[in-house]
Structure formats: C-alpha cells, structure tokens
Chains A and B, each alone.
Chain A
C-alpha cells in the first residue's frame, strides 16, 4: 500500500478548562468576523475532522485519524439544526467549564431541550453533537466537562493509592472487584507484584475467576471491559502497561467475530473514538480461545452457529485496514477459519 504523502496524525487533547475555553472563544471570534465582513458576509461553517475509514491510517501503534476535514455548513440542506446543536453544546460546555462543573450526556440533552426545544428531538442527536464538538475543538469529551460512566472492573495483585491517600488492595476485595473509575485523572499510583495482566471479555468468566481467587494461584492482574471496552478501561490498561512494561498482556475472548473485534479494539483502537483512542492502545496478545483450543477442549454440543450479524462483523473485520495492513497473518487465518467453519 503506497503512502501518497506524509499526512499528520490528529489527536484530541486532554486540555485544561482555560485552554478549551480559549479555543471556543477563538471559534466565536472567527464566526463573528465572517458575519461582520465588509463583503462576502457569511455564516462561517465549522470544520470537523473526518471520522470515516478514508481518513484513517494504521501504523505500529494502531488506528488513528488523519488531518482530513469536512465542513458543516449552516446553509446546506438538512444541516441547519445539527450546526446549531454543535454550537449549543459548545456554549453549554463553555459555561460548565467556567463554573467548574460536569454534566452527564442526558443532562446536556435536557439543558438544550429547555432552552432551544425545537432544535432537538432525541438523545442521539445530542450525542452526535458532542462527538462533533470534539472533532471541531480537538479536545477530549472529558476536558469538555462531560461525565462518562465506566463499566469495567479490575481485580488481582494490584494496589491503587489514590491522591487523597486511600489505598485499595485489589486482591483483598472478597467476591467483588474494584470498578474502574471513569475519572481518568491519572493521579493514582500503582503498586504490583503480578507477572501478567489478563484481559477478559465476559463478565461471567471474570466473576468465575474472582470467585476462584485465580490471582492467588497465578500472580496476575485481571481486567474486564464487560464486552466492548469503554475508554476508561482502555486507559487503565494503558496506564498499567506504562507503569509495568515487563508484564505481558493476555486477552481471553470468545471464539467468534465479536471476540476478535474486542481484542482489536484494545490493540488498535477504533475509528469512532479515533480522536481519543490512539493514546490508549496496548500490545495485547491473543491467549484464547484459539482455533486449536476450540477443536481440542470444547465438546461439539457447545458450538452454536454464526448469526448473520456475526458474519457481517467478520467480513468487515477482514476488510478493515487494521488486519490488512498489519498483516498479522495468524489473526487473518483465524478469522477465515471462523467464517468458513460457520462455527
């Protein structure tokens, strides 16, 4: 695959409130300037980073978005309201950051509904507007003041010391696990004597390992994202990888396209979160379930057939840049096997 020209990688910054406000102020000034121009008066369109496959690049560190942009123009057909919504989100975030508060996405929806009800009909529109604001300002959602929730869990030979002095010993939590904090402030310190990090796809398997106190038999840290991992879980994994670089990371996922897609998310990132995810990619090794394991250990009646959705997912994975460019042939072959055996 030929690289036509060197294109810059684009990343959203985890900026300070004052920096985010400054960027919003710049945008407002440019907008007003074009409105007050002596000739060619115009409503300045917003310039957003393109979040489609054609604007992605893959390198050793995974998927990232490049500097391709597109414009959201108020005067274009059907774009008027969504243009307005992005500005409304930026206005609310500007105000939030000024008073040092954070809002959830749902609350943001209600805020916009209460002040400009005719421009918004559903939560999805507000979620898209938030993603657009990230693409315009190149600031992470967290730095815009949007509260995220996190569903991941961590357990095992890890001691977390929070900035206020509290310590949490993840090997001594009984039958429950430590929920991964959505507050990715990175101010905690970690201590560990583990030899491996284990990433589990399913909550059920994770709970089984916790119940059996697996980390006491094999010294490890166990993390689950409960399916497709959210940003907070990936951030924690990345942080652990940085703090303890000698610990190999093994992933245990189901033998189906969804499982493979999950490993790829940890390893390469995703296009949708392409502006924020690249900083969290890690070198994750695929421990299981592998082809040989599936044929050796699993009894025949445990196999279920692939659904149409599984097949579509497998095809899109095979077609995706990450597997093609990365040319990790064993992974590709496994994907083909899954597809062909229809298992």
Chain B
C-alpha cells in the first residue's frame, strides 16, 4: 500500500488510516506489505518551481517490504513501532528527538531507527519535522546576529569574548525577527577552526556571522543556514579542509544528501561558495609544502566516489576540478596548516583577502 502526499496538517489522519489498514490486513490473516518509493540522484538536475535545482528524483520504482523475509519483517516492525510513536506525538502535540525514540525500545531499533524514519518520510512524502521529530543541534553560531527564540532575544555577538559560540536553535518555527548587521556568513567545517576564529575575535573585526556544523552537519544547522540565507540574503562562504570529506560536507550544504532526499529542497543552500583551502593557496600565502599530507586509502576511495557523482561535475565543475587536482597529486591540505605559517594568518589575512579578492569558487 502507498501512503500518499501529506502536509503536516493532514499527516495524522493519513497515518491513522494507514495503521487501520495494517490492522485490517492482520485481522483478516492477509500479508502485510508496504511499498516505499525509491529515490536516486538524477543524471541531470531539474529546476523546480521553488527556484532551486533538485538533484534527486523519485523513481517509479517501489521497494516492497513485507513479512516474507526475516530482514523485511524486522524492518516492517521497526517502522510500525516508530509510526506508533509519531502518531502519539502528533496527537498530543509533543515533540521528541531521535534519541528519545531510540530509548523507548533500544533492542528493536538498534541500527534501524534512521532507516525507519526515512521509510516513513518517503512513504508519506513528508519531512521529519512534520512528524514532530526534532533534531538536537550540535552546530554553533556567533557574530553579528540577533533573533528571537520562543520570545527571548538572543544576541550572538555578546559571546565573542569566550571561545564557545551559541548552540544553533533546534525549533526553527520558534525563531523569528532575525536581524543582522553582517556582510557575509562564514561557514566553517570544524569546531577547532571556529574556536580559532572566535579566539582571534574574527567577527568583531569583520562584520559577519560565523557558523559551524562541527563536521557533517545535522538538520538543525542546515535549516538554520537556509533560514538565514532566505531572510538576510547574505553571501555564504564555506571554509573547508582541502580533502574529500571537506568537499562532501560542502556539497551536503549546497545540494542536500541522498539519505534525506525528501528534505533536500527545503534544506539546500545553492548560493554557497567554496572559499578554501586550495592547492594554489600554498604559493599565494607562503604555506610550507611540508603541511601537505598524503591521502590515505579511505581518502582515495572517498575522492573517487565523489568524483563519480555526475551532478557534481555538471553543477559545480570548478569544485570537481579542484578535488580532481588533490586526487591526482595524492595530497590533502587542512585549514590548520595556515596557522603553521604564522599565528594570525588565518583570521587577519587569509580569509579577508580571499573574500575581498573574490578568490572563491
């Protein structure tokens, strides 16, 4: 059975209808089978009416899970369990995080929770947040930004004196009245770089907002960035390590991720630019050659996987070329290498001169 499309308002009745159907089949002694739509990356991106390119499409294929196989029945049971919890949350108008759901039944949901949630979202064509499933956030933000969260004023610039930023807000629908005097948003991959920049008082010297997802970004950070871009219309510069993982993280911010393809349109930030770090920076900023590290076997595998993504080659050819250059030379370059040349090079020279000189791709 298929789920049909749902906005958050009519999601609850759809879920209840679905569950009733399952009960009906069970009580009749029929096989319970569920057909989940399958997503895959497109060969070529398609322009949607939301003014952005989507790189994922729903195929006409359906994946059928039923109780015929052991794996199928466990997957089905896990999915129904999560659906039961989601239905309860929607009924009581409460929210829960993935971890809350996991600990209701760890033996069953171990290793299956993400898949169950993705199955449900694909089946009902809804987003995770419409299931009242909130992400806990690990991202950090600081800089020239003020907003209201649940009626309280949050001023991100006040935290500049210490090295920690503010946590990215979790409930995006409770954030309002975003205002900022910044000229750009700087997105950094790693928390250590974030610390380095706050320690050097980067946001006070340059009018900007500093944001990090601490590695692979969670949904809260991505939706926060998207919201900032939609409301403030500021340019976004990504400061990533010059390695396959850095580019992978950047492309998740820009295009979305395959595992959460149904949310990609809402979370993608197509205007993001890659500020660095590139191989050409070695010469321009006098960075020592010894800071180039060799690509490990896993790095090479990852690089090859990224380079084979056709949408990357089509939509971001310069990014693709830069990664190919790293791969060809078998090296990678981390942001911290900039500090090796001189302590304040990153905050005082590297980033400002790159932005002024438009040396981003």
Contact = CB atoms under 8 A, between A and B. Distances in A.
B161 A110 contact: no
A302 B140 CA distance: 34
B156 to A, nearest CB: 12
B343 A304 contact: no
B341 interface: yes
A127 interface: no
A114 B288 contact: yes
Contact of A104 (B99, B196, B288): B196
A332 B62 CA distance: 56
B192 A113 contact: no
A50 B337 CA distance: 33
Contact of B152 (A101, A147, A174): A174
B162 A183 contact: yes
Contacts of B152: 172-174
Interface in B329-343: 334, 336-337, 339-341, 343
Interface stretch (B17-25, B167-175, B311-319): B167-175
A177 interface: yes
B195 A175 contact: no
A114 B97 contact: no
A162 interface: yes
Contact of A181 (B107, B137, B163, B336): B163
A81 interface: no
A176 B164 contact: no
A304 B199 contact: no
B163 A183 contact: yes
Contact of B170 (A175, A180, A208): A175
Given A149-B195, A172-B152, A106 B334 contact: yes
B106 A149 contact: no
Contacts of A110: 291, 334, 336-337, 339-340
A181 B166 CA distance: 11
Contacts of B129: none
A104 B290 contact: no
Contact of A176 (B97, B167, B290): B167
A204 B339 contact: no
Contact of A302 (B95, B100, B106, B291): B106
Given A174-B150, A174-B152, A103 B167 contact: no
B229 to A, nearest CB: 21
Contacts of A103: 339, 343
A41 B288 CA distance: 36
Interface centre among A107, A111, A181 (most CB of B within 10 A): A107
A157 B316 CA distance: 50
B105 to A, nearest CB: 8
B340 A113 contact: yes
Contacts of B309: none
Interface string B276-306: 0000000000001011000000000000000
B265 interface: no
A150 B107 CA distance: 31
B136 interface: yes
B158 interface: yes
B291 A182 contact: no
A109 interface: yes
B100 A204 contact: yes
Contacts of B248: none
A307 interface: no
A283 interface: no
Contacts of A101: 343-344
B114 interface: no
Given A103-B343, A114-B341, A179-B167, A304 B136 contact: no
Nearest to B165: A179
Interface in A133-185: 147, 149-150, 162, 164, 166, 172-177, 179-183
B334 A99 contact: no
Interface in B186-204: 191-192, 195-196, 199
Interface centre among A174, A179, A204 (most CB of B within 10 A): A174
B192 A104 contact: yes
A107 B174 CA distance: 38
A208 B97 CA distance: 9
A179 B164 contact: yes
Given A204-B97, A302-B107, A176 B169 contact: yes
B103 A204 contact: yes
A117 interface: yes
A127 to B, nearest CB: 13
A175 B99 contact: no
Nearest to B155: A166
Interface in A90-108: 96, 99, 101-104, 106-107
A28 B199 CA distance: 30
Contacts of B336: 104, 106-107, 109-110
A107 B100 contact: no
B192 A149 contact: yes
Nearest to B337: A110
Given A106-B334, A162-B161, A207-B136, A111 B195 contact: no
Given A110-B334, A111-B340, A203-B99, 11 more contacts: A103-B339, A106-B336, A110-B291, A111-B339, A174-B152, A175-B169, A175-B170, A175-B171, A179-B165, A183-B163, A204-B97
Q: Top 6 A-B pairs ranked by shortest CB distance?
A: A204-B99, A110-B340, A114-B288, A117-B290, A114-B340, A107-B339
Interface of B: 95, 97, 99-100, 102-103, 105-107, 136-137, 140, 149-150, 152, 158, 161-167, 169-171, 174, 191-192, 195-196, 199, 288, 290-291, 334, 336-337, 339-341, 343-344
Interface of A: 96, 99, 101-104, 106-107, 109-111, 113-115, 117, 147, 149-150, 162, 164, 166, 172-177, 179-183, 203-204, 207-208, 211, 301-302, 304
